[in-house]
C-alpha cells in the first residue's frame, strides 16, 4: 500500500543557500530556507527517512544562515551609528565658511578668488556661469598662481544680478585648452545633513557640497 504520494517521496538533500550575500535579500533567503527545510522534513518518506548526516549538515547550514542575517543587521546598525557620529562631528561647521570647488553667492560684493593654471600653461581664462549653467562671463588671466576679486561684471560689461555663480579656470597653451578645473570658493554653512555618500553641507544660497570636498574652514567674515 502506498503511504504517501509521489510528490512527497523524495529524500534528496536540499541545496544549501549561499551565505556570502550581505545584501538586503539575506533575511528573505533565510526565511525561504527555513520554510523549505520544514517542508522537506514534513514530507519525507517514513520508509526512507533523511540520512542523519544530511540532516545535521542542513541544520548546521540553517544556523550559519541565521548568524549571517544577524551579522548583517549588526553591520547595518554600526554603519548608521558611524554616519550619525560623523554628522555630529561637523555640526560645529554651521555658521562658519567652508572652502570647496563649488559656486559662490554674489550679493553685490566682490568675490575673492585664488587661481592657479596647470603646469605648461602660458595663459588662462576664468569662465563664469550662472545657477542654470549658462556662461555669463569669460575673462583672460595670466598663467601661474594669482588672486583676484570678481566684481560680478558680465560679458556685456554690466553688473550681474545677485545669485549663485560658478567659476572654472581654463588653462591654455599656445591658444589650446590643456586643462580645466572648478575654482574653490568660500560659502557659509547653513545646515549639515546626512546624504547617501555621508555628511553633506548646505551652503548659503542653496548649494550642497560633500564634507570631504572641503579644503579649508574659517570663521564667517
Is 1 a residue whose pLDDT tops 80?
no
Domain enclosing residue 214, as ranges: 92-218
Tell whether 76 and 145 lie within a shared domain: no
Is 81 a residue whose pLDDT tops 50?
no
What are 168-221's pLDDT values in tens digits? 999 999 999 999 999 999 999 999 988 787 889 999 988 899 998 999 999 987
> What is the tally of structural domains in the chain?
2
Q: Does residue 44 belong to any structural domain of this protein?
A: yes
Determine the pLDDT at residue 84. Answer: 46
Mean pLDDT value across residues 165-169: 97
Tell whether 76 and 133 lie within a shared domain: no
Determine the pLDDT at residue 24. Answer: 52
What are 127-154's pLDDT values in tens digits? 999 999 999 999 999 999 999 999 999 9
CATH of the domain at 108: 2.60.40.4070
DSSP string, the chain: ---S-GGG---PPPPPPPS---STTHHHHHHHHHHHHHHHHHTS-TTSPPPHHHHHHHHHHHHHHHHHHHHHHHHHHHHHHHHHHHHHHTGGGTTSEEEEES-EEESSS-EEEEEEPPTT-SEEEEEEE-TTS-EEEEEEE-SSEEEEEE--B-TTSSBPPSEEEEEEEEEEETTEEEEEEEPEEEEEEEEEEEETTEEEEEETTS-EEEGGG--EEE---
Determine the pLDDT at residue 55. Answer: 61
Tell whether 26 and 116 lie within a shared domain: no
Tell whether 112 and 207 lie within a shared domain: yes
Q: Does residue 13 belong to any structural domain of this protein?
A: no
Amino acid at each position: 500500500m502506498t503511504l504517501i504520494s509521489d510528490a512527497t517521496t523524495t529524500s534528496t538533500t536540499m541545496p544549501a543557500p549561499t551565505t556570502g550575500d550581505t545584501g538586503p535579500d539575506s533575511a528573505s533567503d533565510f526565511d525561504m530556507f527555513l520554510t523549505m527545510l520544514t517542508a522537506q522534513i514534513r514530507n519525507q518518506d517514513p520508509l526512507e527517512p533523511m540520512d542523519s548526516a544530511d540532516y545535521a549538515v542542513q541544520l548546521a547550514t540553517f544556523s550559519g544562515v541565521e548568524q549571517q542575517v544577524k551579522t548583517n543587521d549588526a553591520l547595518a546598525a554600526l554603519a548608521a551609528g558611524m554616519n550619525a557620529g560623523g554628522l555630529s562631528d561637523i555640526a560645529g561647521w554651521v555658521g562658519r565658511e567652508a572652502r570647496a570647488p563649488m559656486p559662490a553667492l554674489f550679493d553685490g560684493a566682490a568675490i575673492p578668488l585664488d587661481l592657479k593654471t596647470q603646469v605648461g600653461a602660458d595663459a588662462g581664462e576664468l569662465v563664469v556661469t550662472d545657477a542654470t549653467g549658462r556662461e555669463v562671463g569669460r575673462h583672460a588671466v595670466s598663467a601661474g598662481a594669482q588672486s583676484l576679486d570678481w566684481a560680478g561684471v558680465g560679458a556685456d560689461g554690466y553688473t550681474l544680478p545677485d545669485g549663485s555663480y560658478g567659476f572654472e579656470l581654463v588653462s591654455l597653451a599656445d591658444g589650446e585648452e590643456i586643462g580645466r578645473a572648478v575654482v574653490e570658493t568660500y560659502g557659509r554653512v547653513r545646515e549639515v545633513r546626512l546624504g547617501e555618500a555621508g555628511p553633506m553641507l548646505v551652503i548659503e544660497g542653496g548649494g550642497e557640497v560633500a564634507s570631504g570636498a572641503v579644503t579649508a574652514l574659517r570663521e564667517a567674515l
